[in-house]
Amino acid sequence: MNHMRNLAESRAEYGEDTLDLGPEEVRRLVHELRVHQIELEMQNDELRETQVTLAASRDRYSRLYDASPVSYCTLDARGVVIECNLTLSQLLNRERRQLIGYPLARNLPPEDQPILLDMLSNRALTVEQTLRFRSHGEEQKNLNILLKLHRLDKPDDMGSHWFAAISDVSSMHRLTEELRVKSAAIENTLEGVLITKANGQICFVNSAFEKTTGFTLKQVQGKNPSILQSGKHTSTFYQEMWQAIAREGHWRGEVWNRRASGEIFPEWISISTVFDDERKPAYYVGVFSDITIEERMRERLHKLAYYDATTDLPNRHLFMDRLNQAIADSRRNNRQFALLFIDLDRFKNINDTLGHSTGDHLLVEVSRRITASLREVDTVARMGGDEFMILLSNTDAEKDSQIVARKLLATMADPFDLDGRQYHISASIGISHFPADGTTAEDIIRHADIAMYQAKEHGRNTYHCYTQSFDEKQVVHLDLENDLRHAVRLESLELYYQPQQDLASGNWSGVEALLRWNHPERGLIPTIDFIRIAEETGLIVEIGYWVLRRACQQFLSWRRSGLDVGCVSVNLSPHQFLQSNLIERMRDILGETGMPPDCLGVEVTESAAMPNFQYSVRTLVALREMGVTIYIDDFGTGFSSLSHLRHLPIDVLKIDRAFVSETPGNGDDVAIVRAIIAMARTMNLRIVAEGIETAEQLAFLRQEGCHAGQGYLLSRPIAPEAILRLMR
């Protein structure tokens, strides 16, 4: 019926009141209408479907918009938020309604607000800026945000809009900050830093590198570190180094490199590999420090340990090394060699009348003449005082050594020019042969020494070959040894005390006990000399405990007289240090005398402590536990490695006189003293300088922060009563 009504309506529409239609016609129309209707229904369906799809898509879009990891919002021309996504509301910790309708700038710290306004007035299509946003909440935090504005020019009335995409770059910002701090650290460290790519090309060096090597980043960038090579190492050295890096990822050691100036220098370098994600080497980082000073110190120590400072000749130590070497070689090859012992005649007169510096002058000249008359392969050494020793290697017959002896006497015959005047000086030479006169170093030396005395007996200025019948020197030595035994028994040894001063306050801070032996016939015997005999004979152990007991008693006696000397230190000889019952005996003496252990110090030399390292550590720990202060005496001359020293439980380091005596004039020694003080500080040790003789030395040491000093300038070693007068 609906259909009929439609038909009537359409008739009305066409202005026909009546329609004369045949049945055929009507059927056709009805059919057409049906088709039409079906089409319409189909269109309706499509529309519905499209609507559903549209709704779903809008839904999806808005979910996407809201849940996007990036925060979005739309702003009007004045920067007021028109809409925003959920991400933004979460980022700023504000509900959407607290954002929409308000200026976005409200979420910025006041000083950043003008920047946003600036961006909004920009004519460009997109502007970008990192700003600090404040996240709202209990504890406000600043977010570093990258704000990207896109201008949306709306065709309608609404004017221009901004579409803003906001991302939180705080973590990146933090990372950048961190990188900045780290690179500042690399830039400012005192250690040189060099970074190469895996192919060896330098890509970075820091300013310490530039300062140390003299090469700028520009000069080395893209080059291989081999431009620094000094030529001092073999190619095997570098091969082994790179093998270690490949195997373990890192390597450290000493390398000599060349500065831009051409000068070569030692450095302590550690090289490590930086791997990429696939564990393949991507970079190599080298960190190094210039150890020129330490190297110089090592050389200087070596020189001090093995060479005589006055003449530059090898000293007794080095000579003994060479002699033992010669004995081993000669034994192996069935060869002979000769030893010549030279002693200047009446040298003491020159020293006493013209002074020590002229005496030294003469020694230098003598050593020059001796050296000039020998072959390169021979060794000349100064054994101390005016005694020289010559090792003639590969002498095939006894007559060779006599020819040399005659030549030496001849070169001495020319007068010596001293202080503008000419002096004649002669020498007496004793000769012994290996293996005829002995097969150990001790025997050959002793026999050359005896032969030299024989030469003196024969009227000086001559030489003498050792003959077994004559052993006078040994008798002298024996005499002294007997006298010393006697002296120990009779307690005719004495202790003198040398005060130490605290350099900062100028107050006396302690005393060192030093042995004196006034021989009834020979007078005062040099301490070093009789200590040597005491060491050789083992008498030193008894003497050592006598010294210890006497020093403790003295300390308490001063105390009774109202004087507090601070700490009294005694020297422990290597021999005594190695006694297995040292700790018990020390404890007994402390108990017996009532000495407070914290007022007692023991001085041990490096050479006593180093060879038997484990034992030394144990003994020193035990001493320290008793409360006794541990001093390392004559530091520097023992030639021990600084790193070893770190493992010894010690309290005080005494810088040897050899280093102090040439400060502040000698640059090398100044550097060494500074280095020792710096090292001692890092190890928390107290530093005492020995042998201060001049006001300049004192001022220098005080300025360098040395804690205490001892030396003739402050006071010589003096008798106990004198200490009482001086310190009170």
Query: Footprint of ligand C2E on this chain (CB under 6 A)?
Result: 498, 514-515, 527-528, 531, 540, 544, 547, 570-571, 573, 603, 633-634, 657, 690-693, 710-712, 717
Query: Which of 679, 637, 632, 672 has the alpha carbon at shortest distance from 652?
Result: 632
CB of 358 to ligand C2E, least distance (A): 18
- Residue 712: name its binding partner from ligand C2E, Mg ion, none (Cβ under 5 to 8 Å by kind): ligand C2E
Contacting Mg ion (CB under 5 A), which of 432, 571, 616, 710? 571
Distance CA 676, CA 655 (A): 8
Residues 652 and 623: beta-carbon distance below 8 Å: no
CB of 665 to Mg ion, least distance (A): 21
CB of 281 to Mg ion, least distance (A): 52
Centre a 10 Å sphere on the Cβ of residue 471 and count the other Cβ atoms it contains.
15
- Residue 723: name its binding partner from ligand C2E, Mg ion, none (Cβ under 5 to 8 Å by kind): none
The tokens of 278 are what? Answer: 């696939």
Residue 634 touching Mg ion (CB under 5 A): yes
Distance CA 646, CA 260 (A): 35
Contacting Mg ion (CB under 5 A), which of 633, 669, 686, 698? 633
- Residue 638: name its binding partner from Mg ion, ligand C2E, none (Cβ under 5 to 8 Å by kind): none
Burial degree of 15 (CB within 10 A; 0-12, 13-18, 19+): exposed
3-class DSSP string for 671-697: HHHHHHHHHHHHCCCEEEECCCCCHHH
Buried b (16+ CB within 10 A) or exposed e, 679-697: bbeeeebbbbbbbbebeeb
- Residue 547: name its binding partner from ligand C2E, Mg ion, none (Cβ under 5 to 8 Å by kind): ligand C2E
Cβ nearer to ligand C2E, comparing 225 with 711:
711
Helix (H) or strand (E) holding 220: helix 217-220
Centre a 10 Å sphere on the Cβ of residue 378 and count the other Cβ atoms it contains.
20
CB of 512 to Mg ion, least distance (A): 5
- Residue 544: name its binding partner from Mg ion, ligand C2E, none (Cβ under 5 to 8 Å by kind): ligand C2E
Cβ nearer to ligand C2E, comparing 192 with 499:
499
Question: Which stretch, 45-53, 187-195, 532-540, 625-633, contacts Mg ion (CB under 5 A)?
Answer: 625-633
Cβ nearer to ligand C2E, comparing 405 with 539:
539
Buried b (16+ CB within 10 A) or exposed e, 392-405: bbbbeeeebbbebb
Distance CA 286, CA 248 (A): 15
CB of 681 to ligand C2E, least distance (A): 22
Cβ nearer to Mg ion, comparing 290 with 690:
690
Query: Which of 121, 171, 125 has the alpha carbon at shortest distance from 146?
Result: 171
Cβ nearer to ligand C2E, comparing 271 with 692:
692
CB of 655 to ligand C2E, least distance (A): 11
Cβ nearer to Mg ion, comparing 345 with 634:
634
DSSP string, 478-496: HHHHHHHHHHHHHT-EEEE
CB of 498 to Mg ion, least distance (A): 9
Question: Which stretch, 292-300, 433-441, 525-533, 631-639, contacts Mg ion (CB under 5 A)?
Answer: 631-639
Q: What residue spans of 233-380 are helical by DSSP H?
A: 235-248, 292-306, 316-333, 347-354, 356-372
Distance CA 340, CA 347 (A): 18
Beta partners for 497? Answer: 513, 718
Question: Which stretch, 63-71, 132-140, 627-635, 707-715, contacts Mg ion (CB under 5 A)?
Answer: 627-635
Residue 606 touching Mg ion (CB under 5 A): no
- Residue 606: name its binding partner from ligand C2E, Mg ion, none (Cβ under 5 to 8 Å by kind): none
CB of 531 to ligand C2E, least distance (A): 5
How many positions of this chain bind Mg ion (CB under 5 A)?
5
Query: Which of 455, 431, 427, 457 has the alpha carbon at shortest distance from 445?
Result: 431
Residue 603 touching Mg ion (CB under 5 A): yes
Question: Which stretch, 73-81, 383-391, 568-576, 637-645, contacts Mg ion (CB under 5 A)?
Answer: 568-576
CB of 423 to ligand C2E, least distance (A): 26
Cβ nearer to Mg ion, comparing 112 with 690:
690
Per-position x/- string for 51-80, each x denoting binding to Mg ion as judged by CB under 5 A, each - no binding: ------------------------------
Query: CA separation (Å) from 428 to 92, 386, 417, 452, 457?
Result: 101, 11, 20, 6, 10
Query: Which of 61, 87, 84, 89 has the alpha carbon at shortest distance from 73?
Result: 84
Cβ nearer to ligand C2E, comparing 380 with 540:
540
Cβ nearer to ligand C2E, comparing 252 with 316:
316
State the residue for tokens 């009227």: 459
Helix (H) or strand (E) holding 72: strand 71-75
Cβ nearer to Mg ion, comparing 428 with 571:
571
In the three-class reduction of DSSP (H, G, I as helix; E, B as strand; rest coil), residue 203 is classed as strand
CB of 441 to Mg ion, least distance (A): 27
DSSP string, 387-428: EEEEEETT--SHHHHHHHHHHHHHHHHSPEEETTEEE---EE
- CA 156 from centre of chain: 75
- Residue 711: name its binding partner from Mg ion, ligand C2E, none (Cβ under 5 to 8 Å by kind): ligand C2E
CA angle, 487 as apex, 486 and 492 as ends, to 5°?
Answer: 145
Instruction: Give, as ranges, the residues between 638 and 697 that touch Mg ion (CB under 5 A).
Output: 690
Residue 345 touching Mg ion (CB under 5 A): no
CB of 176 to ligand C2E, least distance (A): 59
- Residue 74: name its binding partner from Mg ion, ligand C2E, none (Cβ under 5 to 8 Å by kind): none
Q: How many CA atoms lie within 13 A of 145 on its CB side?
A: 29
Cβ nearer to Mg ion, comparing 437 with 634:
634
CB of 648 to ligand C2E, least distance (A): 18
- Residue 490: name its binding partner from ligand C2E, Mg ion, none (Cβ under 5 to 8 Å by kind): none
Cβ nearer to Mg ion, comparing 601 with 720:
601
Query: Which of 571, 442, 554 has the alpha carbon at shortest distance from 515?
Result: 571
CB of 652 to Mg ion, least distance (A): 11
CB of 322 to ligand C2E, least distance (A): 25
φ, ψ of residue 630 in degrees (nearest 5): -105, 125
Q: Give the interface with Mg ion as residue ranges (CB under 5 A).
A: 571, 603, 633-634, 690
